Amino acid sequence: MKRHTVRELQDMIADQSVSSDEVYQLYLNRIKAMNDSINAFISIESDETSSGTEENDSEIKGVPYALKDIFCSEGDKTTCGSKMLSNFVSPYDATVVKNLRKKGTIILGKTNMDEFAMGSSNETSFYGNVLNPWDTERTPGGSSGGSAAAVAAGMAPIALGTDTGGSIRQPAALTGITGLKPTYGRCSRYGMIAFASSLDQAGILSISAEDAAIFLEHMAGYDHKDSTSSMEEVPKYTEFLNDNLSGKVVGLPKEFFDGSLDSKYQGLVSDSIHEYEKMGIKFKDISLPNIKYSVPTYYVVAPAECSSNLARYDGVRFGHRSSDDSDLDAFYKKTRKEGFGQEVKRRIITGTYVLSAGYYDAYYLKAQKVRQLINQDFLNAFKEVDVIMGPTTQQSAFKLGEKVDDPVSMYMNDIYTISSNLSGVPAISHPIGFVDDLPFGMQVIAPHFMEHDLLNIVHKYQMVTDWHLQIPGICRELDR
């Protein structure tokens, strides 16, 4: 089996060696063949077309993609991985979906995810966990685990995900693909079901940085329906891909290299740094002194926002509704008890607590102040360096069930990724090798709205390495 990049599909469609319909059918067939073993999709959209495209000369016309089930798409079931929305059919398109639809892309299906994007292993999904194509006893990461597994297993050439604390980068790292979280405000959040509004950002899971560049250009941009979206002009990312990296300075935060990383992963990181040095990049030790507070800060801010964002799931207008409507309080309690899973409840309760009278100052307000300090750390660092690098995760894919009963250990999964959400800066994870046949990823973080720099750096790396082109064994088995 061959996995095609978006770039390759574009060329194939352009020189008419294959029609966009044939491409769509090819992927549908792969999804049908593999989804039982991977559980990457919650719904398969088998009757989509790219007709009605407003722009006929679109460079991505006919390219199919997988859509995380957190994005509303008109007429499609949109569950957000929850029982609460198991019957919810969205009456409208999220802005990023609409943007891509205008360009003639086709939705293959809606991918599995942790419930309401709360989780790092895909085990909180109401629709069963996704299996990692590299080892089906292991997690693909989360919360965009379905999107990551779909791309890794060749069930989709590219997928959309969302990243609130690492939900694109961590699964990308654990499945051996490229995952980009753009700057907060770069892509509209309209139609993306909210988890933590000040942290959520739509992004891309793809085979290569080049593919991410192609898609981001069409997804991103100001949206008057999202007051937090940015008016900053969207550059043509593909034009920056081949810029010379010589003279670039990369910061290595000592907080990411404090000796806690297992030596087998440390070796891969050192190898990739060496590869970058060959391109003329200089490395420099830096410090992000407040980054050690990222995880606790995040687990105050994100639950606080989620406790309010998820209040609308009350059974009154849409979604799951308890059959017990004997009185209002019982109805609310039963509806939410039945509709939400354990992790979502845990975060709603945490968030409700930190916003309560008497605790607000000590938790929420304090967390907001620490968040400012973390942002300031990044701003200071970027006075000295162009980008920051470090491991995306502390380990490769762990076994399903291993951490499910230990939320704190699960939360520590995001220790390297959370700070960029708190600060809003863009970050990308890319594969840099394997340990025990499991992929491992490295993260690159840039200043706000410098996605083109990230894509340029990773693209150059992917020109001289082939880690991102490795295909899981399960895909080869399927061909036999």
* Binding residues with another protein: total (CB under 8 A): 43
Torsion of CA 111, 113, 116, 117, to 10 degrees: -120
Which range of residues in 223-231, 267-275, 372-380, 389-397 is near another protein by CB under 8 A?
223-231
Crossing angle of helices 294-309 and 342-355, in 10° steps, is: 100
316 counts as binding another protein under rule CB under 8 A = yes
Spatial distance between the Cα atoms of 277 and 248, rounded to a whole number of angstroms: 10
198 counts as binding another protein under rule CB under 8 A = yes
Report whether 161 contacts 177 (CB < 8 A).
no
Cis peptide before 188 (omega within 30 of 0): no
Q: Which is nearer to another protein, 83 or 468 (CB)?
A: 83
CA-closest candidate to residue 306, choices 82, 83, 116: 116
Which range of residues in 35-43, 291-299, 309-317, 400-408 is near another protein by CB under 8 A?
309-317
Tokens for 467? 């880690």
Which range of residues in 30-38, 47-55, 303-311, 389-397 is near another protein by CB under 8 A?
303-311
> How would DSSP label each residue in 91-109?
SS--HHHHHHHHTT-EEEE
Report whether 249 contacts 385 (CB < 8 A).
yes
Report whether 115 contacts 127 (CB < 8 A).
no
CA-closest candidate to residue 394, choices 409, 378, 375, 374: 409
Among residues 227, 246, 263, 323, the one that binds another protein under rule CB under 8 A? 227
Among residues 8, 226, 232, 338, the one that binds another protein under rule CB under 8 A? 226
228 counts as binding another protein under rule CB under 8 A = yes
By DSSP bridging, strand 438-445 and strand 427-435 are antiparallel
Which range of residues in 52-60, 154-162, 172-180, 302-310 is near another protein by CB under 8 A?
302-310
In DSSP terms, which residues pair with 138 in a beta bridge?
Answer: 399
318 counts as binding another protein under rule CB under 8 A = yes
66 counts as binding another protein under rule CB under 8 A = no
Among residues 252, 355, 435, 471, the one that binds another protein under rule CB under 8 A? 355
Task: Please provide the size of the chain in residues.
Answer: 480
- Active site positions, annotated: 68, 143, 167
Among residues 54, 357, 361, 479, the one that binds another protein under rule CB under 8 A? 357
Show the site string, 68-87: x = touches another protein by CB under 8 A, - = not: ---xx-----x-x----x--
Residues 91-120 that bind another protein (CB under 8 A): 91-92, 94
Q: Which residues bind another protein (CB under 8 A)?
A: 71-72, 78, 80, 85, 88, 90-92, 94, 189-194, 196-198, 224-228, 304-305, 307-308, 310-312, 314, 316-318, 328, 332, 352, 355-357, 360, 364
